[in-house]
Amino acid sequence: MNFSALFENIKSTHHTLQISASNAINLSITIRNWIIGYYILEFEQIGEDRATYGKKLLINLAKKFENTQIKGMTERRFREYRRFYTIYPQIGEVINDFIPKEAIRQLPTAKFVKHEIRRLPTAESDADKYINIPIIPSSKLLSKLSYSHFAEIAKIDDPLKRVFYEMESIKGNWSVNELERQIYSLYYERSGLSKDKIKLSDIVNKKAVSLTPKDIINNPVAIEFLGLNDRAIVTESDLEQAILDNLQWFLLEMGHGFCFEARQKKNFNR
């Protein structure tokens, strides 16, 4: 082994295990949020004291978590987790395949995941209305998409449109930002109007930004899940880039009279 080979071996080992670690974290986040959504739906349907909380259930739940060290348990997130479970109830069919056996024994849902998933009315009506929609295996969805992908796709009401973005995200290995960009640019609608859908898909994916391990690790959901201090992770350059990336929306919000000239300019008049 020469020096170049040593360098390449170390680099390859780092990248391989970094991907493995980020995938493990993503799976844990996705499964956790799905199970939380299940808990909430089950409580709303059969909880012993559900009548006491009614429509304020998620508000009270969020307030209860304010006194804990667990981050990110807000009313908005709980609504998001509940919708995630509602849209993807089939994930429960393969959960056992993705959770270590020792962890399954400790989960309150251990009995639940061994039984058939309770199909929600929304899932049944979707299935009846869109009978010919291709179904992506749950195991593939879990292994290929991050939770942030699921959260973004779950906002889409049309099941056929959801499957389209699931497939394209997996095929192009899209980052979440890329997924959002394609949704906002009406890629689904453009594909429906295109005479050459394959060519359009190839063009889109050549320009697409791919998902990387840092996209999974360095995002708010993962930071909260791991109990990290997000201020220790975000650098000044990260903040500046985020502002620039969202400059168009910022200017629209601020209205007329604002002008962006350039990045940080030196003051030479001092």
Which residues of the chain are modeled with pLDDT < 70? 104, 109-134, 193-270
Determine the 3-state secondary structure of 259 from DSSP. coil
pLDDT digits (tens, 9 = 90+) for 224-270: 666 655 544 444 455 455 555 555 555 555 555 555 555 555 555 54
pLDDT digits (tens, 9 = 90+) for 108-131: 765 554 434 444 444 444 444 444
Residue 170 domain-assigned (yes or no):
yes
Q: How many CB atoms lie within 10 A of CB 29?
A: 21
Q: Taking the CA of residue 266 as centre, how many other CA atoms within 13 Å lie in the half-sphere pointing to its CB?
A: 1
Q: Is residue 58 within 8 Å of 40, Cβ to Cβ?
A: yes
Tokens of 111: 């009995």
Q: Is residue 179 within 8 Å of 153, Cβ to Cβ?
A: yes
Residue 262 domain-assigned (yes or no):
no
pLDDT given at position 115? 39
Determine the 3-state secondary structure of 66 from DSSP. coil
Q: What type of residue sits at position 250?
A: F
Tokens of 142: 């879990």
Residue 269 domain-assigned (yes or no):
no
Q: Is residue 97 within 8 Å of 139, Cβ to Cβ?
A: yes
Domain count along the chain: 1
- Torsion angle defined by CA atoms of residues 208, 25, 99 and 19, in that order, rounded to the nearest 10 degrees: 60
Q: What type of residue sits at position 237?
A: S
Tokens of 216: 């999974």
The pTM of the whole model exceeds 0.75: no
Residue 264 domain-assigned (yes or no):
no
Residues 147-174 as b/e (b if ≥16 CB within 10 A, e otherwise) read bbbbbbbbebeebebbbbbbebbbebeb
Cα→Cα distances 22→31, 169, 269, Å: 14, 17, 48
Residue 210: strand pairing partners: 174
How much of the chain, in percent, has pLDDT values that exceed 70? 61
Angle 243-249-253 (CA atoms, 0-180°, nearest 5)? 110
Residue 29 domain-assigned (yes or no):
yes
Residue 263 domain-assigned (yes or no):
no
Residue 265 domain-assigned (yes or no):
no
Residue 260 domain-assigned (yes or no):
no
Containing domain of residue 24, as a range?
A: 3-254
